[in-house]
Structure 1
Amino acid sequence: MVNIRSLDPSASPLDYYGYELRRLREQAGLNQAQLGDILYCTGSLIGQIETARKVPTREFSERLDAALMTDGLFSRLVGLVLKSQLPSWFRPYVEMEQKATYLYSFEGLMVYGLLQTEGYARALMGARFENDLDGLVAARIERQRILEREHPPLLWAIMTEAVLRQEVGGRKVMRDQLAHLLAMQEREWVKIQILPFAVGAHAGSLGSFTLLRFSDDPDLVYTEDFVQGHMTVDSTAFKDGSLRYDHLRAAALSVEDSSALITRVMEEHYGDQPEPGGSELA
């Protein structure tokens, strides 16, 4: 039994979520175990979320709305909760990412965040963060919802061949991640190119970066160091980033040849063919 503690609903989105969950559960005449049975989870999990000790997922929130007939309340709240789990310095970027019309990303060391599976994201962030890993992973997957919108941004992602061959999270996690890249490649608004080892030194050798273009806001460049990220709308910086990206796009394999390389890496390292149509895992 989780100890009952008072929550200040104004303290954070997570506290407000837990406060409302307890209030509406009690209003429905259910204890934690009973609600857990309805949602196919434990009463302990209900208690942890009610006391802001665990971050709810979107799936949990949607089932909760159905069980308590709350007209989408928790499905709306969970977006705020998950955004609050992001590092404070990263939140302004996510807000701009959600407004972007075009996203052009170059990654030299890891799969681009919007294309990561949950398993890959967990393994990647688990190597860096010890606390609040569940919340961080859920927040990353939540960001990917922009690709499911009726009018998603055009995403063009260039990654080095090293990203494909660096095994993250074990064989199954990495195999599923490569299959997910192939599945995403089938979407008309997602383009993935791989920069092969044979290119040698290239325009992205100094680090990863993302270019964001908007319909109504100034274009910007986003970069990260090992501490935090940096955004700038400086036109000279954006012009330089665009030129670098054009060089990378020209040096990378075509979209079709990139898919062939991803498939070949899967066969060589995992002895497995991608399923027809790919595997939607994130």
Structure 2
Amino acid sequence: MPLISATDLRDRFSAFRLLDARPAPADYAAGHLPGALHADLNRHLSTATEPGHDPARGGRHPLPSAARFAAQLGAWGIGPDTEVVAYDAAGGSNAAARLWWMLRALGHERIFVLDGGLAAALEAGLTPTVEVPAQEPRPPYPATDWRLPLVDAERVEALSLDPSRKLLDVRAAERWRGENETFDPVAGHIPGSVNLPWTDNLGPDGRFKAPEALRAQYQALLGDIPPEQLAVHCGSGVTACHTLLALEMAGLSGAALYVGSWSEWCRGGRPQSGVSA
């Protein structure tokens, strides 16, 4: 399973390399789990801080190259034998699940998301620290390509018209309907997409639903379409990974990620649907 409980983490704490995926460097500096390094969404998990970054080409959080991320993993001391735990403070949605997807996409198997995030770890008795651990660099991770399926805007436009495929938008329902948009300049959704918010992956306690519940949820959405015919997106390719993780838990792996997501789509003069379109 791609998840680890806070108690399992606590009981095997020294076995893992921890990565704190909360987006704000200030949050990490104010306190993080002992031994955790900061995986910055904008600097490490995307190229959002690169000069010339244009959300119309790749969205607000475009992927770095696989080679660049492989080098970063080496700088963090992560190799194929390293057990990694990623956590954030939002149920895995921002951006622990993105980190999980990126490691899996390089072929790394030993990557887990902490179920319940930082709050669950504190409830389990782990104590935060402000100490930044020393890094023990290794060679770049031995991978040069993303190995999980990706789709670009052109492919999304084609599959949105294909009845044998399904396009899933995991943003909040009011954003999908075009009633509210706080991150991007245009409200609405990609024509032909369906909506199931990533928050539906979690129970009232902020932790993932049981695998069987997730399977029932996504089988109802897919109908007779296999998961390999599904593409998932969100606003900028981050919370979409939360749903890809939930699909993995449900035994429905194989869906593609549209990294550019709505943030790229809405800036490119492409067709749009929604109350404000």
Same fold, judged at TM 0.5 (above): no
Shorter-chain TM range is: under 0.3
Q: Larger relative CO (CA 8 A, sep 6+): 1 or 2?
A: 2
Q: Of Structure 1 and Structure 2, which has the larger fraction of its residues in helix? A: 1
Q: What TM-score do the two structures reach when normalised by structure 2?
A: 0.26
Q: What TM-score do the two structures reach when normalised by structure 1?
A: 0.26
